Amino acid sequence: MDALSFWNVLWFVLIFVLIIGYFILDGFDLGIGTLYPFLGKSEEDKAHLRHAVGPVWDGNEVWLLTGGGALFAAFAPAYATTFSGFYLAIMLVLFSLIVRAVSIEYRHHDPEHKGIWDALFFIGSALPALLFGVAIGDVLMGIPMDAQGNMALAFPLSFVFLLRPFALVCGLLGLAQFILLGACWTAVKTTGNLHERAVAVRGKIIIVEIVLFIVATVLWFAGSAIDPAAGVLGAVCGIANQGTMPILAAVFAIVTLAAMVLVVMWSKQSSDLKVFFAAAAICVGLCMLTAFSLFPNFIPATNGAEMSITVAGAASEDFTLMWMTGITIVGLPLVLLYHFLCYKSFAGKITAEDLHY
């Protein structure tokens, strides 16, 4: 096994930090899009929802591009395996994000076909929100790989294989978290009946999310007791890897559950922004729980540990990672400054005047 270096571990953590940034920022965008047909009872409500994401959605998606680029530069084999093994799912996500962006822009310029653009806004938000969680669940369970690091199943069997019970529960958990973020951000930005409906949704969806988190945890430990190579049962339910940092994984599992409890406690009595930050803390907990459940593997293999893509084995040269760190030290503060100025410019509740902007 390749030896781990400081730079390997640093960039493994930084990849998940970038995922956290995307999860939180574009998470509420996707959540609002998913809630759009349910919270938008009138044209004014729908306009408020669109304006809640309109000024920031494109900047939020930068985190997805940055995460993908960083994964390619720092851990190219892991990038190649995930993007080839989940090719159909990734294409569905990309097309969904494209039609979501088009629907946001065209809804205002083509009111004659507003029903079509509204439907595309919903589909383009809900589908990625579900598929992201399914993909993470499949990576956690492990996938069968050949000696070249490719998924050792041909389409369509490969696509069916990815829809395993644990992965589907993770998909629903991710979808619930996106919806929670969307409801929390809607509550931050709106007033009146729309605000009350958003508060009601976040109070209900957090209960659903807690139940899904518990179910996922039970399935995780149940699957870990089954040999992934042991026939059909192992392929469907087995967990190929539990990581080598169970204490840190347990800590972030507790952080996740504690943040969920805070959302429940604060949902009715605290400020909307405070509840949003608690919901954002759930994203941190889930992502770091995933990271430390995987480490030192990046993508565990179900057909033998020797086939797994490890952090050390997939990492670029330390010199490359050092240069990437220097670029990050310079670039990340500029990105954060951009977000600060953007959100500061559009801070506060959405007013009737804003709808004409």
**What is the per-residue pLDDT across 33-42, written as a single tens digit (0 to 9) for each?**
999 999 988 8
Question: Is residue 1 predicted with pLDDT exceeding 60?
Answer: no
Of 225 and 212, the structure prediction assigns the larger pLDDT to 212
CB-CB contact of 245 with 233 (8 Å): no
Over residues 76-96, the mean pLDDT reads 87
Mean pLDDT of all residues in 136-146 = 87
Q: What angle do CA 350, 355, 357 make, to 5 degrees?
A: 110
pLDDT at 158: 66
- Residue 277 makes CB contacts below 8 A (sequence gap 6+) with none
What's the longest Cα–Cα distance across the chain?
A: 63
Structure confidence at residue 8 (pLDDT): 94
Q: How confident is the model at residue 172 (pLDDT cuts 50, 70, 90)?
A: very high
More confident residue, 161 or 20: 20
Quick check: 264 pLDDT over 60? Answer: yes
Task: Tell me the pLDDT of the chain averaged across its residues.
Answer: 88
pLDDT of residue 18: 94
Over residues 133-162, mean pLDDT: 78
The residue extents of the domains of the chain are: 6-356
Average pLDDT, integer, range 107-114: 81
Residue 229 has pLDDT above 90, yes or no: no
Closest by CA to 103, choosing from 65, 42, 53, 174, is: 53
pLDDT of residue 349: 84
Q: What is the mean pLDDT of residues 324-343?
A: 91
Whole-number pLDDT of residue 252? 94
Q: Which of 78, 81, 49, 59 is nearest to 195 (CA)?
A: 49
| Span 249-272, average pLDDT | 91
Give the distance from CA 314 to its chain's centroid: 22
Q: Report the run of H or E that residue 298 belongs to, with start and end.
A: strand 297-299
Q: What is the pLDDT of residue 157?
A: 60
Exposed/middle/buried for residue 115 (C-beta within 10 Å: 0-12, 13-18, 19+):
exposed
Tell me which of 24 and 306 has the higher pLDDT: 24
Q: Quick check: helix, strand or coil at residue 296?
A: coil
pLDDT tens digit sequence for 267-319: 877 789 999 999 999 999 999 999 999 998 988 888 777 788 899 989 999 99
Residue 242 has pLDDT above 80, yes or no: no
Name the percent of the chain lying above pLDDT 90.
Answer: 51
Q: Six-digit token pair at 297? A: 């593997």
Question: Looking at per-residue confidence, does 228 or 116 come out higher?
Answer: 116
| CB count in 10 Å sphere of residue 2 | 12
Does the structure show a pLDDT above 80 at 155? no
Phi, psi of 40, rounded to the nearest 5 degrees: -80, 85
Residue 67 has pLDDT above 60, yes or no: yes
Residue 259 near residue 285 (C-beta atoms within 8 A)? yes
Mean pLDDT of 130-135: 92
User: How far apart are alpha carbons 239 and 252 in whole angstroms?
Assistant: 19
Higher-confidence position of 87 and 337: 337
297-299/309-310 β-pairing: antiparallel
In this prediction, residues 23-49 reach a mean pLDDT of 90
Nearest to 102 by CA among 77, 85, 119: 119
Higher pLDDT, 141 or 151: 141
Cβ neighbours of residue 288 under 8 Å, at least 6 residues apart?
A: 16, 20, 248, 252, 255
Per-residue confidence at 2, pLDDT binned at 50, 70, 90?
A: low
Instruction: State how far the Cα of 45 lies from the Cα of 48, in Å rounded to an integer.
Output: 5
**C-alpha closest to that of 17 among 65, 61, 62, 67:** 67
Beta bridge partners of 310: 297
Residue 259 has pLDDT above 90, yes or no: yes
Beta-bridge partner residues of 299 = 309
Q: Is the pLDDT of residue 323 over 90?
A: yes
Distance of CA 320 to the CA centre of its chain: 27
240 vs 16, higher pLDDT: 16
